[in-house]
């Protein structure tokens, strides 16, 4: 691992580690310090802070650190985890924002190639653009899931910011984006033009109320994601500290942690980012919430079950349903009971499997198909191609 882009964790935090219980996360992490650049051999996840927010529409020149988040995270106790975790420190903001993007691209790319999942703490959410670009030479089919109050499509004709990075992702070559999904959007934070564009592009969106009514609706969406980007402003103001307060409506702490755990459980998610953190003096609530979001993602990764090996016909059940003129083929894992639906019209050029790519779905989607209803996710994937 090239540590040239990364500054070590502050000595103050390492000194405070000595006071923690021996079983806390802080005592078990491989931490990049002033005197040690840890080996990443056997590491499954790596925490990376990015001290960049100059492309935020609210940027007023302030600097920030992730000291309080790390302090809160280090003092938590791990679950029954089997994977090693590293804290690589922070990417300092470069001379320009593009320099910061470039550093993040190189760090994330090298981690993914080493099969290590980066857990990115930001910074403004436009850093998702750099996270996405890290996949340019790794994969040509990327699914992004954004946990956010708004779509972040913005005006792509203007310079990138934390409310328009998606427009840049869509329009800039190389075109690697296959699908984009917004989780928890609130209509009054999105223009009708953006809502119409989401429909036109056959992207997916789930309103806040639909998710809070049944949180499990996000599981198949996150099962298909490569990148999960989370705006902390999607959490309602009563759950966070004064400077972080944004809206009275949003996810509560339990819901945002459940979403984070679903992201971790997904076998496909290879990077996870938490953005728009605004530190303040009385910051315990927000810092602890971010720490717990990280904890639940890591818990999810440790609970991953390899149930999507469809080359072994003994590992799944296959169901064929005729709906109108379409033949829908469903697969159910014998190991976990999770469901997928075949996408017969899409070919992955780099797939090693003989069957068509599969889209994660629910048992309810199968039941609906038997009643003559085509699942909406399948329909959008169909129209997109």
**Where residue 350 falls among pLDDT bands split at 50, 70, 90?**
very low
Mean pLDDT of 101-123: 97
Residue 346 has pLDDT above 80, yes or no: no
Mean pLDDT of 268-278: 96
What DSSP character marks residue 208?
H
pLDDT score at 280: 77
pLDDT score at 355: 47
pLDDT score at 352: 38
- Of residues 37 and 383, more confidently modeled: 37
**Where residue 86 falls among pLDDT bands split at 50, 70, 90?**
very high
Q: Report CA torsion sign: 41, 118, 266, 246.
A: positive
pLDDT score at 195: 95
- Asked which of 165-169, 240-244, 304-308, 326-330 is least confident by mean pLDDT, the reply is 240-244
- Of residues 355 and 209, more confidently modeled: 209
Q: What is the mean pLDDT of the chain?
A: 93
**Residue 318 belongs to what H/E stretch?**
strand 316-323
Residues 195 and 80: their CA atoms lie apart, in Å, by 42
Residues 44 and 30: their CA atoms lie apart, in Å, by 11
pLDDT score at 356: 64
Q: Do residues 287 and 68 touch, judged by C-beta distance below 8 A?
A: yes
Residues 261 and 165: their CA atoms lie apart, in Å, by 25
Mean pLDDT of 75-89: 97
Mean pLDDT of 122-127: 96
Tens of pLDDT, residues 6-48 = 999 999 999 999 999 999 999 999 999 999 999 999 999 999 9
Q: Do residues 266 and 223 touch, judged by C-beta distance below 8 A?
A: yes
Per-residue CA distances from 97 to 50, 51, 131, 132, 148 (Å) = 11, 10, 14, 16, 23
Per-domain boundaries in the chain: 3-302, 313-384
pLDDT score at 132: 98
Provide the 10 A C-beta neighbour count for residue 256.
25
pLDDT score at 296: 98
Determine the CATH number of domain 3-302: 3.40.800.10
Taking each helix axis as running N to C, give the angle between helix 284-302 and helix 67-74, from 0 to 180 degrees, rounded to the nearest 10: 50
- The structure tokens 């990015």 sit at 50
Residue 221 has pLDDT above 90, yes or no: yes
Mean pLDDT of 326-331: 93
Mean pLDDT of 64-86: 96
Provide the 10 A C-beta neighbour count for residue 245.
16
Chain centroid, CA 236 distance in Å: 19
Residue 347 has pLDDT above 60, yes or no: no
CA dihedral 129, 277, 287, 256 (to 10 degrees): -60
Residue 349 has pLDDT above 60, yes or no: no
Residue 300 has pLDDT above 90, yes or no: yes
Instruction: Report which of 90, 98, 101 is spatially closest to residue 46, judged by C-alpha positions.
Output: 90
pLDDT score at 157: 84
């Amino acid at each position: 691992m090239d540590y040239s882009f990364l500054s070590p964790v502050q000595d103050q935090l390492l000194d405070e580690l000595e006071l923690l219980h021996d079983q806390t996360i802080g005592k078990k992490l491989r931490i990049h310090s002033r005197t040690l650049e840890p080996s990443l051999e056997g590491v499954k996840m790596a925490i990376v802070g990015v001290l960049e927010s100059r492309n935020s529409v609210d940027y007023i020149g302030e600097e920030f650190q992730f000291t309080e988040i790390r302090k809160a995270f280090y003092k938590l106790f791990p679950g029954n985890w089997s994977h090693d975790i590293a804290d690589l420190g922070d990417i300092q903001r470069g001379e320009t924002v593009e320099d910061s993007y470039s550093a993040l691209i190189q760090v994330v790319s090298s981690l993914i190639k080493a099969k290590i999942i980066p857990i990115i703490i930001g910074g403004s959410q436009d850093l998702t653009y750099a996270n996405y670009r890290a996949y340019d030479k790794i994969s040509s089919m990327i699914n992004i899931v954004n946990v956010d109050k708004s779509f972040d499509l913005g005006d792509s004709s203007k310079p990138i910011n934390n409310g328009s990075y998606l427009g840049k992702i869509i329009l800039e070559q190389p075109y690697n984006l296959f699908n984009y999904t917004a989780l928890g959007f609130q209509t009054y934070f999105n223009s009708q033009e953006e809502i119409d564009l989401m429909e036109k592009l056959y992207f997916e969106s789930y309103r806040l109320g639909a998710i809070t009514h049944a949180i499990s609706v996000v599981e198949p969406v996150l099962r298909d994601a490569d990148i999960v980007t989370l705006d902390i402003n999607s959490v309602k103001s009563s759950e966070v500290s004064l400077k972080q307060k944004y809206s009275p409506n949003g996810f509560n702490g339990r819901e945002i942690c459940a979403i984070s755990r679903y992201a971790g459980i997904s076998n496909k998610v290879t990077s996870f980012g938490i953005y728009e953190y605004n530190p303040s003096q009385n910051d315990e609530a927000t810092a602890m919430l971010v720490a717990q979001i990280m904890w639940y993602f890591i818990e999810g990764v440790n609970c991953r079950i390899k149930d999507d090996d469809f080359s072994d016909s003994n590992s799944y059940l296959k169901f064929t349903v005729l709906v109108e003129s379409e033949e829908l083929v469903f697969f159910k894992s014998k190991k976990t009971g999770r469901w997928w639906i075949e996408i017969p019209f899409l070919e992955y050029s780099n797939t090693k499997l003989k069957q068509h790519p599969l889209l994660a779905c629910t048992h309810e989607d199968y039941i609906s198909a038997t009643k003559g209803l085509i699942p909406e996710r399948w329909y959008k994937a169909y129209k997109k191609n």
